Structure 1
Amino acid sequence: MDALAGLLDGPRARGAFMIRACFDPPWAVRVADEAPLTVMLMARGSCWITHDAGGGPVRLGPGDLAIARGPLSYTCGDAPDTAPQALILPGGECRYPDGGSLNGSMDLGVRTWGDRPDAGTMMLIGTYLLRGEISGRLLDALPPLLTLADELWSCPLTPLLTEEIVRDEPGQEVVLDRLLDLLLISSLRAWFSRPDSAAPAWYRALADPVVGPVLRLLQDDPARPWTVAALAAEAGVSRAALARRFTGLVGEPPMSYLTGWRLALAADRLRDTDLTLDTIARQVGYSSPFALSTAFKRVYGVSPQEHRAGTGTAGRA
């Protein structure tokens, strides 16, 4: 499995929140739902997104896409200075800015919300509601807000999603979940391929003739008892040269990266499989469940059992 495939082999929407938002200017919505990831595709018109992480307002035109990573809030509107008319809170709760309930008052039919269905602006929105639906490795690789202009990528899913989002048929939630996963993977693959993308350091380092092969060795065979000396021998350089080059490009030493990779794999397998802790420990390179549990809790702050039960989240990898 190549590095990008490994990174994207994670989105698993389960009853994701999908909606078609339709507005006439002036309009603005403040989104404070703390969702881990939201995908916004402009089907008609334009909007401005201002994220609390900074960076200034970003404009989306027809066909453009944005991905917002939580839990920070952001505002979407027809202009950067339009005051929000609605506030979206955790759990899909809608309120007026003064706190009054807005639930139901802007509903326009099946998964449609806003002013009127044929309004000048229409945005297709898909929200992953739980962090466990997205690999922690993927979330940590993304900036708070990324955008893709229509001319930089081709998305055949747009007309299909536009049609399916308003259907009300048996099994429709599953159809929309899979479409959202495909939309996210397709857009991220296009974003990562751009030379100016803010991809993580380890992803950019894959192109290096020395560090790239070492990263692939670690990613493909994490259970092997690697040492810096063994990795240097595989790369054909000295230990000191590998340690210096790896740290300079990736941002951390080889063994530190390996530990993070092993624990990230363990976190995903705890979430996605019923494998025992002993089996997972051996698969990712730990000699015992105790050794894995100790390292896991030191880094993530929760035990593997708590993470599997959903009472904690593996937030950094």
Structure 2
Amino acid sequence: MSLSFDLAAPVALASSPPSREEQPRRAPFAFSRFFHDPAWSRWTAWTLPALVLVAWEILARAGLISSRLLPPPSAVLASAWTLTLSGELGNDILVSSLRAFAGFAIGASVGFALGIASGFFRSAEVLLDTPLQMVRNIPLLALVPLVIIWFGVGETAKVFLVAVSVFFPLYLNTCHGIRSVDPALVEMAGVYGATRASLLRDVLLRGALPSILLGVRYALGYMWLFLVVSETLSATSGIGYLAMDAREMVRTDIVLVSIGLYALLGKASDSVARAIERRFASWHASVQSEKRRTR
């Protein structure tokens, strides 16, 4: 007696369902295309802020919001235009930007260098990590009296506070990124005879790049946040000085101009950091996932 099998049946049963990439993409709803289409998503991202501003303007003009406590956006824009024409606003933006990016350059450079040392050398980690973690948990505002004693209230104190604020995001993310590189890649590089310098440059730093760029984004946020604190130390120019001077004269509209400038500068810095991430870490899974979402 002979047995015969239909070999096509098991193959059909064992065949796996098509992957997500192979499955036909469903046509998005008419409304959701505004979020999936890159051309439209750039505009729809500003929909909620625009609606808030419109509602704010309507409520202020209707008298439901006190114009003294919260002037309408049109009054804030008028004040910003007046300051722009006088040249005061442009000068304050330039002064604040120089302070911010000088502190960022110093703090990010030191944080990046020490992050590499702690991530690559075990001895550096033992020596540096514990003291730096202790300092990281000290509130930065608690250092202000000490900074004034050390540096006075001049430009050095302001740049120092910004540098300290951006140091730790770069240090932590650089160190974590290097430690998170797949050990198999490190072993493979050793098998192919990579030197320590090439291992650090071509394997560890490349693998840690997404984490480092994430640290840059966090650092840019802290940079503008603590610039506000630093510019309260007897400043005579800058966006923070503009806000403090307006507070003394009870000019809420100018205070709101200063707040809006910090928000716009922070958003611009974050957009630049994301563009750098898409350019230099396009191979990473998170960047690839973002690209698929925007298709």
| Category of TM-score, reference length = shorter chain | under 0.3
Larger RCO, structure (CA 8 Å, separation 6 or more)? 2
Structure with the higher fraction of residues in strand conformation:
1
Please, what TM-score do these two structures have when normalized by structure 2? 0.27
Query: Between Structure 1 and Structure 2, which shows a larger proportion of helix residues?
Result: 2
- Length-normalised TM-score, structure 1: 0.26
